[in-house]
A = this chain, B = another copy of it.
Amino acid sequence: MQDIQLSLTEEDYLKAIFNITEKNRGTASTNDIASSMQTSAAAVTDMVQRMASRKLLDYEKYKGVKLNSVGIAFATQLIRKERLWKVFLHQKLGMDWDKLNDAAEQLKHINTIEVIRKLELFLGSPKYDPHGEPIPNADGRFTLRNQTSLFNLRKTDRAKVVAVRNQSSSFLQFLDDCGISIGSQIEVLQEIDFDLSKRIMINDQTSIVFSSKICQDLYVKQLN
């Protein structure tokens, strides 16, 4: 990459902005960044102005923020590092998937290229992290996958869980309790019109009712 040295804070802003812009057709508002960073809107305005002057992003008063190619490159590398470390924490250290994010957030700041290269090899070049999120390769390219949320499946549809959208500890623990993890097979037994919940069969073993909220937070790949 360039020989620009980012502060930890700049790195956190870049990652937050990248994630927000992925949903908001390329632009992130001051308030959205503020709530994602748990800071004030005033702090965000000040920070993005400084980051704009460092050419990490494009900023126009009252119009929000867009990452430029430099910002995207950095953000992608940060996401790559964070997700590789998540794989390490889960697969090698055996940490539960609801406890990965805190540590990986810190680990993503580790700034030695050789470490990340060797870590990737050590882990067998995984393409997805323990929550099913794609891990960009060294060039920043993501492996795309056709997936949909469980919410969109219909009665008798069968599918495989490929990712979680919500990564809160409580949601992940709940899934654990239901016996759901990445790769679980599910089948829609019943669609309940009343509240859009669904009765689901998990791994041909257990049946359970999922609220529409839960269905929306689970990404699946439909089978046949």
Q: Which A residues have a C-beta under 8 Å from some C-beta of B?
A: 89, 92-95, 99, 102-103, 106-107, 109-112, 114-115, 118-119, 122
Complex Cα spacing A102 to B115, Å: 10
A93-B118, A95-B115, A103-B110 known; 11 new pairs, CB 8 Å cut-off, are: A89-B115, A92-B122, A93-B115, A93-B119, A94-B122, A95-B114, A102-B112, A103-B112, A103-B114, A106-B111, A106-B112
Closest to A118 in B: B93
CA distance A102 to B119 in the complex (A): 16
**Is there contact, CB below 8 Å, between A118 and B94?**
yes
Task: State in angstroms the CA–CA spacing of A13 and B59 once bound together.
Answer: 37
8 closest A-B pairs by beta carbon, nearest first, are A93-B118, A103-B112, A103-B115, A106-B110, A93-B122, A102-B112, A92-B122, A94-B118
Nearest B-chain residue to A112, judged by Cβ: B103
Question: What residues on B are CB-neighbors of A94 within 8 Å?
Answer: 118, 122
Residue in chain B with minimal CB distance to A117: B93
Closest chain B CB from A98 CB (angstroms): 12
**Chain B nearest Cβ from A22, distance in angstroms:** 27
Q: Bound complex: CA of A95 vs CA of B115, how far in Å?
A: 8
Residues from chain B with a CB closer than 8 A to the CB of A111 are: 106
Chain B residues within 8 Å of A106, by CB: 109-112
Task: Say how far A62's CB is from chain B's closest CB, in angstroms.
Answer: 35
State the CA gap A99–B114 with chains docked (Å): 9
A103 cross-chain contacts in B, Cβ below 8 A: 110, 112, 114-115
Q: Which residue of B lies closest to A8 (CB)?
A: B8
Minimum CB–CB distance for A183 against chain B, Å: 23
